[in-house]
Amino acid sequence: MNSRDVMIGKELVRLILGFLADPSLDIEATKRHGAVQCLLNLKVLETMELIAVSYSLSLSDGEILKVDAKSMIRWDKECSKFLTQKMDEAGGQKSLIEYATFFSNVISRGVLWDKEDKIKALSELTKLAFVLKFDEQAVQFLMKSNNLQTFPEDEEFLAAAFPSV
């Protein structure tokens, strides 16, 4: 799939760039652009089933703790793959908010992996923008109401990344 088919488009990128441009985060333009470029480079794989993930943790006493989980979405940063369960559009609002929640959490954790305290805020903004289908005017209002802005270098990056949009 094209990454833009799963809502990884210009308005999502604009929202993230605006969030990352917050002076309190102190992230320079090249790092902001690098953070969102990894989204644009993703290979998106869609499945009908939940995505199974297994985690193991070696404890100090030598014991290994294993956990299996299932998720609607997973971002494998090492392989630049975005795995997603096909959204059940017939499932109504519940299905939409579930998918939006998983999507926004995965995106926020992937972009802000080193700023744990900011993940929830970006996730909530992304979730709302997702529910609004990343409508350009809605995202602009969302950014304005949250005092977020992009800088000229961010707009140049967006124009280069989305030349026909």
Q: pTM for this one?
A: 0.85
The pLDDT, as a whole number, for residue 100 is 94
Q: Tell me, what amino acid is at 133?
A: K
More confident residue, 8 or 122: 122
Q: Rounded distance, CA 87 to CA 114, Å?
A: 29
Residue 45 pLDDT class (50, 70, 90 cuts): confident
Mean pLDDT of 24-41: 92
Q: Rounded distance, CA 84 to CA 87, Å?
A: 8
The answer on pLDDT for 59 being more than 80 is yes
The pLDDT, as a whole number, for residue 134 is 94
For residue 4, how many other CB atoms are within 10 A of its CB? 14
The pLDDT, as a whole number, for residue 102 is 93
